[in-house]
Amino acid sequence: MDTATPPGLRERKKQRTRDALLRAALELFTTRGYDNTTVDEIAEAVDVSQRTFFRYFAGKEDVAFAAQDIAHTHFVEAVRQRPPHEAPLEALRNAVLESWDTIEEAIEQVVPLELYLRMCRLTESTPALLASHLRRTDEVFEETARIIAEREGLDVDTDPRPRVAVAVFGGVIRVTERRWGTDGDLSVTAIRALTASYLDAVGPLLTEKWRTG
Amino acid sequence: MDTATPPGLRERKKQRTRDALLRAALELFTTRGYDNTTVDEIAEAVDVSQRTFFRYFAGKEDVAFAAQDIAHTHFVEAVRQRPPHEAPLEALRNAVLESWDTIEEAIEQVVPLELYLRMCRLTESTPALLASHLRRTDEVFEETARIIAEREGLDVDTDPRPRVAVAVFGGVIRVTERRWGTDGDLSVTAIRALTASYLDAVGPLLTEKWRTG
DNA sequence: GAGGCTAATGACAGTCACTGACAATTGACA
DNA sequence: TGTCAATTGTCAGTGACTGTCATTAGCCTC
**pLDDT one-digit tens code per residue, A141-174:** 999 999 999 999 999 999 999 999 999 999 999 9
Shared-domain flag, residues A81 and A185: yes
The residue from B36, B58, B80 where one domain ends is B58
Distance from CA of B113 to the nearest CA of A (A): 26
Give A96-108 pLDDT, tens digit per residue: 999 988 999 999 9
> Would the Cβ of A185 be found within 7 angstroms of any atom in strand D?
no
* Residue A212 is assigned to a structural domain of this protein: no
Distance CA(A127)–CA(B20), nearest Å, equals 28
Whether B179 and B101 map to the same domain: the answer is: yes
Among A59, A74, A101, where does a domain finish? Answer: A59
How far away is chain B from the Cα of A143, in angstroms, using its nearest Cα?
A: 13
Q: What is the dihedral of CA B187, B189, B195, B196, to 10 degrees?
A: -170
Interface A-B, measured as beta-carbon pairs within 8 A, has a size of 110
The amino acid at residue A55 is: R
Tell me what pLDDT residue B3 has: 42
Confidence of residue A202 (pLDDT cuts 50, 70, 90): confident
Last residue within a domain, chosen from B37, B58, B79: B58
Touching check for B172 and chain A: CB below 8 Å?
A: yes
Do residues B147 and B83 both lie within one domain?
yes
Same domain (yes/no): A105, A81: yes
Q: Which residues of chain B have pLDDT under 70?
A: 1-6, 9, 206-207, 211-213
Domain that holds residue B42: 9-58
Say whether B131 and A127 touch across the interface (CB within 8 A).
Answer: no
CATH number, position A29: 1.10.10.60
Which of B195, B202, B207 is most worth mutating to test chain A (most A CB atoms within 10 A of its CB)?
A: B202
Contacts of A178 in chain B (CB under 8 A): 163
Any idea what the Cα angle at residue A84 is, between residues A79 and A88, rounded to 5°?
60
Nearest nucleotide to B46, CA against C1' atoms: D8
Q: How far is B45 from chain A (nearest CA, A)?
A: 28
Q: Is residue A112 part of a domain?
A: yes
Model confidence at A2: pLDDT above 50:
no
Does residue A2 fall inside a structural domain?
no
Nearest to B202 among A132, A168, A210 (CB): A168
**Strand D closer than 7 Å to the CB of B55?**
yes
Compute the nearest-CA separation of A60 from chain B (Å): 14
**Secondary structure of chain B in HEC code, one letter for each residue:** CCCCCCCCHHHHHHHHHHHHHHHHHHHHHHHHCCCCCCHHHHHHHHCCCHHHHHHHCCCHHHHHCHHHHHHHHHHHHHHHHCCCCCCHHHHHHHHHHHHHHHHHHHHHCCCCHHHHHHHHHHHHHCHHHHHHHHHHHHHHHHHHHHHHHHHCCCCCCCCCHHHHHHHHHHHHHHHHHHHHHHCCCCCHHHHHHHHHHHHHCHHHHHHCCCCCC
Question: Mean of the per-residue pLDDT values for chain A?
Answer: 92
- Decide: helix, strand or coil at residue A88: helix
Chain A residue with Cα closest to B126 = A135
- CA A47 – C1' D21 distance (Å)? 22
- Residues B113, B194: one domain? yes
Statement: the CB of A209 is under 7 Å from strand D: no
Instruction: Identify the sign of the CA torsion A48, A54, A58, A61.
Output: positive
B58 touches strand C (CB under 7 A): yes
C-beta atoms of A89 and B205 within 8 A: yes
pLDDT single digits (tens) A23-62:
999 999 999 999 999 999 999 999 999 999 999 999 999 9
In terms of Cα–Cα distance, which of A17, A12, A26 is closest to A68? Answer: A26
State residue B205's pLDDT score: 73
Q: Does B165 touch chain A (CB under 8 A)?
A: yes
pLDDT score of A184 = 76
**A114 and A186 both lie in a single domain:** yes
Same domain, A133 and A156: yes
Contact A168, A158 (CB under 8 A): no
Q: Which helix (H) or strand (E) holds A192?
A: helix A188-200
pLDDT of residue A3: 41
pLDDT digit string, tens, across residues B21-62: 999 999 999 999 999 999 999 999 999 999 999 999 999 999
Residues A151 and A201 in one domain: yes
Whether A143 and A49 share a structural domain? no
Helix (H) or strand (E) holding A174: helix A161-182
Verify that A94 and A52 share a domain, yes or no. Answer: no
The domain total for chain A is 2
The reply to whether B1 falls in a domain is no
Q: Which chain B residue's Cα is nearest to A211?
A: B152
| CATH (domain of A123) | 1.10.357.10
Q: Would an 8 Å CB–CB cutoff place B168 in contact with chain A?
A: yes
Q: Are residues A125 and A109 in the same domain?
A: yes
Contacts of B148 (CB under 8 A, 6+ apart): B79, B88, B91, B92, B162, B165, B166
| Interface check A180 vs B, CB under 8 A | no
Q: Return the pLDDT at B73.
A: 97
Same domain, B76 and B167: yes
Query: Distance between CA atoms of B199 and B182, rounded to whole angstroms?
Result: 19
How high is the pLDDT of residue A186? 82
Residue A125 lies in a domain: yes
The minimal CB distance from A152 to the residues B161, B168, B210 is found for B210
